[in-house]
A and B are shown apart, each in its own frame.
Chain A
Amino acid sequence: MTQTQFQVVILATDKACGNSRLSPIDDNIPHSLLPIANRPLISYQFEFLEKAGFETKSDNPIIIVVNEASEEKIRQHVSEIYKGLEVEFFVLKDRLASCEILYRIRDKIKSEYFIILNANLVLEETFIRQMADIHRSGEAAVTMLLKPAQKVVEQPSKKGAAEAPSSSKKELIFTDYIALDEKKEKVIMMEPGTEIEENLQFNKSLLKHFPNLTIYSDLQDTHFYIFSRWVLELIVEDQKEKYPLFSDIKKHLIPYLLSCQIPNIKRQRPLPESAFNLTQKISQEMSSTASPFNQFSDINIQKKKTIKCLAYILKNGYCMNVNTVKSYQQINRDISKGDLSLLPLEPKLEKNYFIDPAANVTPTQVGPYCVIGASSTLGSKCSVKFSIIGKHCKIGDNVRIENSIIMDHVNIEDKCTIKDSIICNDVFIKAGSSTVGQYLTK
Chain B
Amino acid sequence: MAKDDKKSKGGSNTNTLDIKSEETLQAVVLGDSFDIKFSPVTLEKPRTLLPLVNIPLLDYTLEFLASSGVQEIFVFCCAHADQIKEYIQSSRWSNLPGVSVKCMTGRDCRTTGDALRGVYNAQVIQSDFILITGDVVSNMNLQKALQVHKARKEVDKNNIMTMVFKQASPTHRTRSKQDDTVIGTNSETLQLVWYDNSPKKKKSSIPIELFKKHPSIQMRYDLIDCHIDICSPEVLALFIDNFDFADIREDFIHDILGSELLDHKLYTYVLQGEYAARVKDLRTYHSVSKDIIHRWTFPMVPDNNFMCNTTYSLSRQMIYKERGVKLFGDCLISEETVLGTGTEVGSGSRISHSIIGRNCRIGKNVKIHGSYIWDNVVIEDNAVIQSSLLCNGAIVKSDSSIGRGSIIGFNVVVGNKLILEPFSKITLAEPEEDEDDEENIQDFNMGENGKGKKWILENEPYNELVQREIDEPSDSDSDEPGSGGVMPPTKDKDDDVPEFIKFQREVRDTIRRGINENLLMENIQVEINGLKFAYIKDGLDCLAAILPVLLEHPNINTVSAKDLSAFIVKRISSYSPLLVKFSSEDNQVDLIFKIQDFCDENEQYKSVFQLILHRLYDNDVISEDAILEWAQEIEDDEEDEGFYLKKCTELIKWLKSAEEESDEESEEDSDTDSD
Contacts and interface: CB of A to CB of B under 8 A. Distances in A.
Interface in B127-173: 169-171
A215 B536 CA distance: 30
A2 interface: no
A298 B536 contact: yes
B217 interface: yes
B577 to A, nearest CB: 21
A295 B499 contact: yes
Contacts of B221: 204, 207-208, 211-212
B207 A199 contact: yes
A211 B215 contact: no
A156 to B, nearest CB: 24
Nearest to B537: A298
Interface in B198-256: 201-209, 211, 215-222
A203 interface: yes
Nearest to A172: B208
A225 interface: no
Contacts of B498: 294
Interface string A197-214: 011111111011001111
Interface string A224-267: 00000000000000000000000000000000000000001000
Given A207-B204, A264-B477, A298-B536, A214 B219 contact: yes
B208 A199 contact: yes
A198 to B, nearest CB: 6
B252 to A, nearest CB: 22
B222 A211 contact: yes
Contact of B202 (A205, A211, A294): A205
B219 A203 contact: no
Contacts of B202: 203-205
B281 interface: no
Contacts of B171: 208
A213 B203 CA distance: 15
Dominant SS among interface residues on chain A:
mixed
Nearest to A305: B536
B208 A198 contact: yes
B114 interface: no
A359 B204 CA distance: 61
A215 B204 CA distance: 13
A421 B126 CA distance: 63
B205 A200 contact: yes
A216 interface: yes
Contacts of B201: 204
Interface residues of B, number: 33
Contact of B500 (A202, A214, A219, A294): A294
Interface residue tally on A, bucketed by range: 20 to 34
B211 A217 contact: yes
A294 B499 contact: yes
A177 interface: yes
Contact of A215 (B170, B216, B499, B533): B216
A177 B180 contact: no
A204 B203 contact: yes
A207 B170 contact: yes
Contacts of B209: 198
Nearest to B182: A207
Contact of B217 (A205, A214, A298, A301): A214
Interface of A: 149, 177, 179, 193, 196, 198-205, 207-208, 211-219, 264, 294-295, 298, 301-302
Nearest 10 CB-CB pairs, A to B? A211-B222, A207-B221, A217-B211, A199-B205, A218-B215, A211-B221, A201-B205, A214-B218, A216-B216, A294-B498
Given A199-B207, A204-B202, 6 more contacts: A196-B208, A199-B206, A207-B182, A211-B220, A212-B221, A215-B217
22 contacts: A177-B208, A179-B219, A198-B208, A198-B209, A199-B206, A199-B208, A202-B205, A202-B219, A204-B182, A207-B170, A207-B219, A208-B477, A212-B220, A213-B219, A214-B187, A215-B217, A215-B219, A217-B216, A218-B215, A264-B533, A298-B535, A298-B536
